Amino acid sequence: MNKEIATEKAVLRRAKIQKLKRRRRLGMVIFLSLIILIIFGIISLYNSDLFNVKKIIVTGNNRISKGQIIKESGIDSDTSLLKLSRDEIKKRILKEPWIKDVEIKRHFFNSVEIKLIEREAVAAVPFQDIYLLVDEGLIVLESREAIDELSLPVILDLKLTKAKIGRKLTLSSLKNAVKSLVSLDKELRDSVTMINAPSVEKLTLMLALENDNGDPYDVEILYGEANDTSTKNAIIKEILTKSKKHVIYIDVRIASNPAVKFLEDAS
């Protein structure tokens, strides 16, 4: 009797174990099936046109047209937001010399925003029979045959032998000239018409100003090396604004000992 009871319990125990195993196998099959379905769904979604770009927003562009930026980006209606490589797009757009920086933003489901920071031309440099426009980082932005319509100072007397659009110029005399120019406040900077930069020490700025009567006059600034620029610029500003005589020449190469010439003295 006891033997029969023990056998019956063993059979029930084995049946229970088998049932648990079947449940586990079924649960595993269901779990794997769900994983496969999810993966398949992701792949299908990734390859679908649901996230294809339908709108491209371009901001910060003043020099370069929206159409040109979109063309450079390589984005079109077949581009999916999910496959879009922001690094590659940024690299393509940054080949344009006028573009200093770019940020690419996805706006789900179908929009891309291209935010630009453009370079600003600060001076024109004669080279061979053309003019090169350069920014404060000495990047050559473009070349022009004439610059009459541009309010940019011309930097002369440079020993420039080679240049390429999109590349940086490395002349120390040019670097010094641009550094001194961009250090000026807007009022002084806008009055600079010409810069002579045969060397760092001989850097000279030519300013076109007006007196209280509205009569134009020129001032030559022997600036020298672009160091201690805040002190030099303050000296120039003070001499020009406080002097009662007609200033024609200021030497601030040594900021602690500036020299001034007046029209009255020259005559």
Residue ranges per structural domain of the chain: 55-118, 123-266
Q: Are strands 123-127 and 111-118 parallel, antiparallel or unpaired?
A: unpaired
Q: What is the pLDDT of residues 74-126, one digit of tens each?
A: 999 888 888 899 999 999 999 999 999 999 999 988 999 999 999 999 999 99
* 55-118: CATH number: 3.10.20.310
Q: Which class in CATH covers the domain with range 123-266? A: alpha beta
Query: pTM for the complete prediction?
Result: 0.81
Q: What is the pLDDT of residues 197-234, one digit of tens each?
A: 999 999 999 999 988 888 899 999 999 999 999 999 99
CA torsion through residues 74, 68, 62, 170, sign: positive
pLDDT band at 30 (very low <50, low <70, confident <90, very high): confident
In DSSP terms, 118 is beta-bridged to: 99
Q: Pinpoint the alpha helices (H) of the chain.
A: 2-47, 66-73, 86-93, 172-183, 186-191, 229-242, 263-266
